Structures are given as structure tokens and as C-alpha cells.
Amino acid sequence: MKKVGTVQAIWLYPVKSMAGVSVESADMYWYGLRGDRRYAFVQSTDHSTFPWLTGREVSRLVQYQPEFADEADRRGSEIRITTPEGKNHTISSSMLRQELATQNKQPVHLMQLNRGAFDAAPMSIVSQATLDQLSNVHGDSLDLRRFRINIIVDSVDKTAYVEDSWINGTLSFGEPADGGDATAILPVRPIQRCVMVNIDPNTAERDAAVLKNVIKSRDNCVGVYAWPRLVGAIHVGDDIYLSQA
């Protein structure tokens, strides 16, 4: 077992494709981090295998800011949404739903998913070194929120894409409690990227060069998907240790 870094930041995305919430700690269960991607808006007339309303259809979705009404119970908490214009709604508000439907130019409805609306795996992780390299390639600083990653790592090895070397190992967080096992995840594969990374999380403007640079510099992959291995809490500042399979 060797130390590979520390937890620099933790991000939750309570509503699929809306803005993220930065937290100091998060509880991880078998379905992922509590409170992450438990809600999604669905395009009501879309009967495909990917019916979600995302930034692909409505770029401004990334400017809608969720918050937990009850931080102590993120899984069961009511979610409130602040719109780009500063209006505040509950997640189930008919006014919010109609506003999104108008922008989408077709009906939408809200779905709550206890196991989360994930594309491939319930968690994601990336090193700051990778994000720095992408900014260098792009020629300008890229906001990490473009990549919608859960755990940002200040890695010991500052080589870009170092997280790829953690795949098929086990990452443990912090010191084991009461002599037991530490919270742990299993990194499983690189994350293939889509046009979502082109959307500026502050302005919702699109820059196609972002995805083009990701494709050219790293074969369209940034970050690593992961599955829970041992449930527990993860905190900003936790040391991270790698055990190889």
C-alpha cells in the first residue's frame, strides 16, 4: 500500500446536469455518495435509453444551482434550485419544470432515483495534475466543474493522467476507524467525454475547442470511473492509499 495523494475537493451533483455543490465531507454507500445525482429531469417524449434533460439540449442547465435544505440528511433532503435569474424554487416546483420545458421546447418531468442517474458508474475521480495539463493544452484555465468529477486529488505524482495507473487497484481514504477497514473505492476505467465539457459552468457558453483538445491529447478520456469497495465517509484532506490488485 502506498500513498498516492490527498483529497483536494469533493463535489456532489444533486440534479443531473445542473451545477455542483462543493462539500467538505461526504458519506459513501453502495450506490455512491449520498445526495449525488438523485434527481434528473426527463424529456417526456423521449423513449430512448438516454432520455435525460442535460446541458446537451439546454446549455443553461449548468447555471441552475441546487442546494440541500438539510445538510445532515443529503439523501432525504429537499432540494432547492436557484435559477440563473436568481429565482428560488423547490425541485418539484411546477414553475421550474415549465421553465425548463420552455427552454427545451418540449415537455419535461422530474424523476427521483434512489440509486442515482449515472451514465456508467456511481463515482468519479481525477488528479489536479490532469486538470492542470488540460488547461495548458487548451491555453487557458479550465474550470474543473466542466468535468463533473466527484473527487479531485492532489496527487503525489504530478504526472498528468496519473489516475489511470490506479485502475484495477483499491483506493482507501484516511485512517481506518476503530481498527476496521478504511472507506475504499475501485477505479475501473477512464471516462469518455462528450460535449458537456464544452459548456462553461459560469456563462453556459460553448467552446468546441475544449472537447477537441481532450480528444487530441488523451483519446477523449479524462478522469476515472469508480465503484464503492468499502462504505464510509470521505473528507477533504484525507490521505489516499493505493493497494494493487
State pLDDT tens for residues 90-99.
Answer: 999 999 999 9
Mean pLDDT, range 140-151, rounded to an integer: 96
Q: Please check whether residue 41 is in contact with residue 100, taking contact to mean a CB–CB distance below 8 angstroms.
A: yes
Domain ranges of the chain: 2-243
Q: How far apart are CA 98 and CA 10, in angstroms?
A: 31
Would the pLDDT of 179 be above 90? no
Instruction: Please give the helix or strand (H or E) that residue 218 lies within, else none.
Output: helix 208-218
3-state secondary structure of 63: helix
**Is the model's pLDDT at 135 over the cut of 70?**
yes
pTM score: 0.95
- pLDDT at res. 77: 92
Express each pLDDT in 69-94 by its tens digit. Answer: 999 999 889 999 999 999 999 999 99
CA separation for the pair 36, 197 (Å, rounded): 19
Confidence of residue 182 (pLDDT cuts 50, 70, 90): confident
CATH topology of domain 2-243: M1 Pyruvate Kinase; Domain 3 (2.40.33)
CA distance 15 to 41: 8
Lowest-confidence region among 1-5, 16-20, 188-192, 215-219 = 215-219
Which stretch of 6-15, 178-187, 229-238 has the lowest confidence by average pLDDT? Answer: 178-187
Q: Tell me the pLDDT band of 176, cut-offs 50, 70 and 90.
A: low
pLDDT category, 245, cuts 50, 70, 90?
low
Residue 62 C-alpha cell reads as 449548468
